[in-house]
Amino acid sequence: MMPTAHEVQHPLIQHHLAKLRDKTTPPDEFRRLIQRLASLLAYEATRDLSTQSVEIETPLARVTAQQLSQRIGLVPILRAGLGMVDPVLDLLPDAEVWHLGLYRDEATARPVEYYSKLPAHSPVDVALVLDPMLATGGSAIAALQALQRWGVPKLKVLAVIAAPEGISNVAEACPQAQVFVCAIDRELNSRKFIVPGLGDAGDRSFNTLP
């Protein structure tokens, strides 16, 4: 296990991940699989959220129950991260959604920021960075550093698949961040793509394969 990384082991994850990797899976099914896997990741990544006691009335009696007590922000990295937002919002309907636009310069494999919608004050308590793929870690690190500048105290990355290099880079640049992934793959190839991977998650999700 790599430092800071939680590789979530579950039969449902393995089942859906197999279909996600298959190059014959069409875009509509690919999107549904990303959503299912995002839900399973979010369930695991939110185990340590804080709660507070509240008094409620059931149809039969008054009872003390627990509700979430922290402000939670979802930060999808455009554009592939958009496919993970709705299933996580289903679990956390009061979460705030803040967008970061980053793309990888194919010549340098480094992230280029083209859009940011983070405010200058009042940071959330917990931020979940959403991106299906953690390859070099460049985009995730850029997002985490932006959230650090905003003042977010607790940072988590949710990715469907990751390369060992990406996890190591995130651990070095942002050691306080937690990373939750469905699978840690073998390596990055010479073009900085994850192997065996699943191809380009954005292109496969939005049917823009070249």
pLDDT digits (tens, 9 = 90+) for 146-162: 999 999 999 999 999 99
Q: How confident is the model at residue 202 (pLDDT cuts 50, 70, 90)?
A: confident
Residue 1 scores a pLDDT above 50? no
The pTM for the full model equals 0.90
Helices (H), 48-207: 85-91, 138-150, 164-173, 201-206
Q: Which domains does the chain have, with CATH numbers?
A: 5-206 (3.40.50.2020)
Taking the C-alpha atoms of residue 113 and residue 124, their distance in angstroms, rounded to an integer, is: 21
Catalytic residue numbers read: 104, 108, 200, 203
pLDDT digits (tens, 9 = 90+) for 75-110: 998 888 999 999 999 999 999 999 887 766 666 667
Cα 33 from chain centroid (whole Å): 14
User: If you average pLDDT over residues 198-210, what whole number do you get?
Assistant: 86
- For position 123, what pLDDT does the model report? 95
Decide if 117 contacts 99 (C-beta within 8 A): yes
Residue 60 scores a pLDDT above 70? yes
